[in-house]
A and B are shown apart, each in its own frame.
Chain A
């Protein structure tokens, strides 16, 4: 049930980071689990009862395109944090392939891996992982320091990113003197400082209170627009996933349940688990007209107003309800179908 069979996406050659058949199994003699189909097929409890092992990541495959915000979502214990650590081998995967810019990451030796971590990947952590004995600016320049850059260089670069994330004026404070949101800005600045190609976020905002969280999410959207980095973003918060993610991978017990854009998850849940998951989402904010068009009935006139297929339902509501004829949904000159009052109301009133 690997998801990309249902949702074929970008060709592997286009992918920046490609994950193939990835497994991470904790426990005694973990290697045998992915190798033996009979063990690989067992569910969590059965596997633990039989082998004493737990599969935190099971048989995952997906590609991340350059510049994309790829969100991995799941409840706690679904293996998403393990997954993101496997991507840079902070946790050694048990089986599978990791290809980054055409290079096999799993074949990289310790030295090459360090070099990649120093320049290509950066990570932002849930509990920030700051160094309490260093000032903000020294925390931010840590990554530059360990790759041996000169002090003036790293000061300059650190100052740049500190300004970028809105920390200016706090350079010489210690982390404990900052609020949670500010601390995570330090974490963000540290990750940006060594100008990586891929930013990995491990539930970066779940330790923050809701207002700050929203502010930080907006900050990430802004940064993505400004610096255009590829991002892999782990979260257990669906609204965060929908807000940030170009595509979302939903995980459960280490396996992929569904991979798709936000409106695909809401509009076409792959199974009951996903349906439960997205049930409380205000669908009008997520679904586009594409999801609710229908064939025009023979008796309907087709001279109503036109809208594109990627317009959100919420945005189209007023127009559709005010128009006395069905609204046409047109994609590049082709008529996809029409939308009337009842389709709109079904979504807005959420009679799912």
Chain B
């Protein structure tokens, strides 16, 4: 009954808010036609502002020569190089790495078997073998080295932090605050400032990755420790355990499987970041994809993208299997088998150090070039056959929606855009939305890349509208129908584990280089998370409420629109928020395939030293856009939340 009262209230309120929004938008368009072209803060591709030049000049002040950062960089660098020497790069005066492909596959499969089960061991061997056959062994091993280095280092930091946050309430509050903030920042954003401190190269890439990958491990470790039943802890204390004994014998073993889930997420995040870090000259598969994207070689990009996906699937399955392993310790038979396996692994490693065939992946069968050729052929075929259609869609959307929106944002005077956005933020989220919006827009003007920011914002908004529409439809469907949910969820999960780079490849084939390509990739990237949140929100609507609605004879559409959506409003606002952030980070990555704007500025900043300052400013602008969009949607969500609780109390 309570929720029905709530929804009535919403019905009364909503028109008023939407009328205000409509009036604001109409006024904006009207003013645009009058004020078009004034104060638009245009900045050409090679142009820079005083701030940018100042940043470029001072790039070395913080990083180079600073003992602290240099020490970190060198230590991390050595660690990465050590791993590379072991498995990917020629080392120790030998023309091949210390451990050849046979040894690496044997060790990986053995670990997969020992921590998981034999099925994932087979998958590991097959996956790595396939990557080798693709002709990408060394690149894959570089990616793997960087990932391993970043994951080990981030776990080294994250797990103690997580334990601390699990044990202390104060640390937990601080950690949640910081992690929430970190999660709203797009991937790309970490890269720019880090190059300031750690120069360009594997070290900076590893550090960027570890920062990006640590939060899930911290969060889940803390969560795991906190969800150990208090009685078990009390029982341990009542028997006279010291704090250390309680931690090592009770809390940690009991949190194991949740911590492993955290490690899984950390690994997946690390892998996707390592590939993106190709932008700051990290070696590996990302580099191959990036180069191919830049030369528009879809075949090679697809081949390398496929390798990333295969590695992602292997890592995901193995860690998931490790997390699912029950408490039971190994029985005698398994222990014997493990010992025998260890011997076999040693033999394989010895082979791989002794014989060339086991050290260098044989290049006789190169599946990779064939995959690349097929992919190119398919692309050409698709472009020839559907080219008219896909390009038509692209041009229709670009000319019909994107250009007008972009024109409105870039053509209006900056102060008009600022006023309108702040007013909208106020209407939607009150002061909590308006104040951050004003601050962020002000700072955006200061960064000097206002116009590029507006271009990025236009693409982001358009993509978000599509994402929310698709996500709502799929989410409601999956939320109402268990069978749909069971088959849609694995697809969504798989979608979320892919590194963002990979998404660009097929869209590049379909739509060529354009802003639309980035938007389409962003939509596909962001739809899974949006759908999941909406589906969970719909599922969380109390069964009794839905039954009550059905019992008075509502149609399905009435149940959805009058009961399920209004009750799940908070989840939907969260879905919009997450959709926005995901879209933003993808639109930025899309800068590489012709979307231009901020993403391009950042990439150019990495590539050309005289544009370094501008790239940094563009990175900052991305953060500002992200924070602004996040704050506004969060504030809107908070309003909704207050609203529902008020409604519920009646």
Residues of A within 8 A of B (CB): 85, 88, 90, 113-119, 121-123, 125-134, 142-143, 145-147, 174, 187, 190, 194, 200
Contact = CB atoms under 8 A, between A and B. Distances in A.
A336 to B, nearest CB: 45
A133 B240 contact: no
B355 interface: no
A123 B236 CA distance: 10
A277 B250 CA distance: 40
Given A133-B253, A133-B254, A125 B235 contact: yes
B565 to A, nearest CB: 39
Interface residues of chain A: helix, strand, loop or mixed (majority): mixed
A118 to B, nearest CB: 3
A85 B237 CA distance: 11
A121 B242 CA distance: 16
A118 B327 contact: no
A142 B236 contact: yes
B240 A132 contact: no
Nearest to A118: B240
B58 interface: no
A118 B238 CA distance: 8
19 contacts: A90-B238, A117-B237, A117-B240, A125-B234, A125-B235, A129-B229, A129-B231, A129-B235, A132-B254, A133-B254, A133-B256, A133-B327, A143-B240, A146-B240, A146-B242, A174-B327, A174-B328, A187-B235, A190-B235
Nearest to A119: B240
Given A114-B241, A115-B240, A190-B235, 11 more contacts: A114-B240, A123-B235, A128-B231, A129-B229, A129-B231, A129-B234, A131-B236, A133-B327, A134-B327, A146-B239, A174-B328
B231 A127 contact: yes
Task: Give the size category of B's interface with A.
Answer: 20 to 34
Contact of B239 (A113, A134, A142): A142
Interface string B302-334: 000000000000000000000000011000000
Contact of A125 (B231, B240, B241): B231
Contacts of B327: 132-134, 174
Interface residues of chain B: helix, strand, loop or mixed (majority): helix
Interface of B: 229, 231-242, 245, 249-250, 253-254, 256, 327-328
Nearest to A175: B327
B239 A117 contact: yes
Contacts of B256: 133
A131 B238 contact: no
Contacts of A115: 240
Contacts of A121: 238
A146 B235 contact: no
A116 B238 CA distance: 10
A349 B234 CA distance: 46
A122 B249 contact: no
A143 B235 CA distance: 10
Contact of A122 (B232, B239, B253, B254): B239
A125 B238 CA distance: 10
A290 B270 CA distance: 79
A126 B240 contact: no
A128 B253 CA distance: 18
Contact of A88 (B231, B233, B238, B250): B238
Which of B229, B231, B239 has the most A CB atoms < 10 Å from its CB?
B239
A280 to B, nearest CB: 31
Give the 5 A-B CB pairs with smallest separation, nearest first.
A129-B235, A118-B240, A129-B231, A117-B240, A143-B239
